[in-house]
Amino acid sequence: MQYRRLGRSGLQLSELSLGSWVTYHTQVDTKAAKEMLAAAKDAGVNFFDNAEAYAQGQSEVVMGEAFKALKWARLDYVVSTKFYWGLETKGLKINQRNTLNRKYLSQAIDGSLKRMQLDFIDLVYCHRPDLHTPIEETVWAMSDMITQGKALYWGTSEWSAGDIRAAYEIAERHHLHKPVMEQTQYNLFHRQRVEDEYSRLYDDMQLGLTTWSPLASGLLTGKYRDGIPKGSRGARDDLSFLRAGLTDEKKNAAVGQLSAIAKELGGNVAQLAIAWVNKNPRVSTVILGASKLSQLQDNLGALELTPKLTPDILARMDEITQPLAD
């Protein structure tokens, strides 16, 4: 396992990390979370990603209980959470959901700290842009979290390059804590934002990337080439919005071609897809997701494939996937 600086900060993150979206509380209880966190740490992983909205706060509870049981030194791991969606999913909840205003953010961080049983959270993100709150208000609120010692670094998730730059410039103008990182989706079929839209931000503000969905919600595992398996992510009613993408015929055919390349390199297509993301020097860490220990261990096998991705191999992968990527 290698470690990379998070953007312009001095904080170092493991090149592969572990996230809790979809899995914690719904598929992974505290006992299983503890087992996977321990296995990840044994492999060198030091960053664990979460969000307030995952399982309506219960994902944070599960991870917090697992941390408490593991009794790790606080310096040994980095943990994140994200704010925007809120915990309430029904009814008109003013200032409690789909917002980044100061009132919501100041209370959201306190809720996450309580659920995770932590004194501070290393990385906090604005989970989506808020079209109704001035960016300046959000920047002040996020900077205040750091000033108050409740968080160490802040960033954005799925923000446009223009909004990230605006937030950075506001912080610089007012001598506030600037955004350090962006968490965006990045995989062989979803590339434009990382490779094109953000391209000038890497040099202009040394933006760090903590990328999610390296397997395109499971498409790049190959498990959907013959339809949707029972018990898979694609079979869940609450994730039905993923099905069209998971069953795309052209993309699944491309996955078949990628599988052949993976076999040449002594791995599988999931490991190849993760290694491809990991190969990008702009990526600070690749966030993995796993509902079982065996999945996590298999995904960590991408570390062995990463150095095998020569320019020729990368060109072959691009030829297969770029025409299908957005």
Q: DSSP states of 167-209 as a string?
A: HHHHHHHTTPPPP-EEE-B-BTTB-HIIIIITHHHHHHS--EE
Q: What three-state secondary structure class fits 152?
A: strand
**pLDDT for the residue numbered 289:** 92
Is the model's pTM score more than 0.85?
yes
- pLDDT tens digits along 124-183: 999 999 999 999 999 999 999 999 999 999 999 999 999 999 999 999 999 999 999 999
- For residue range 223-268, what is the model confidence (pLDDT) as tens digits? 867 666 665 565 566 565 665 667 788 999 999 999 999 999 999 9
pLDDT digits (tens, 9 = 90+) for 80-131: 999 999 997 777 788 999 999 999 999 999 999 999 999 999 999 999 999 9
In the residue annotation, 54 being an active-site residue is answered as: yes
Q: Is 198 among the domain residues?
A: yes
- Kind and range of the H or E run holding 121: strand 121-126
CA distance 164 to 135: 9
Q: Which residues contact 149 (CB under 8 A, 6 or more apart)?
A: 120
54, 77, 104, 186: the active-site residue: 54
**Average of per-residue pLDDT across 282-291:** 95
What confidence tens digit (pLDDT) does each residue in 200-230 have? 999 999 999 999 999 998 899 988 676 666 6
Identity of the amino acid at 264: E
* Better pLDDT: 309 or 88: 309
Place of tokens 């961080």: 109
Higher pLDDT, 82 or 30: 82
Q: Is residue 48 part of a domain?
A: yes
Give the residue from 36, 89, 44 showing the smallest Cα distance to 62. 36
- Rounded-to-5 percentages of helix, strand, coil across the chain: 50, 15, 35
CATH number of the domain to which 116 belongs:
3.20.20.100
In a domain, 276, yes or no: no
Asked whether residue 225 is domain-assigned, the answer is no
The three state secondary structure string of 283-318 is EEEEEECCCCHHHHHHHHCHHHHHHHCCHHHHHHHH
Query: Which two three-digit tokens encode residue 66?
Result: 């697992």
* Euclidean distance between CA atoms 278 and 15, whole angstroms: 7
Q: How far apart are CA 121 and CA 148, in angstroms?
A: 12
> Do the domain assignments include residue 296?
no
* φ, ψ at 20 (rounded to 5°): -120, 5
Domain containing residue 190: 3-219+282-291
| Helices and strands (DSSP H and E) totals, the chain | 13, 10
How many domains does the chain fold into? 1
Q: Is 106 inside any structural domain? A: yes
- Residue 207 in any domain: the answer is yes
Residue 143 lies in a domain: yes
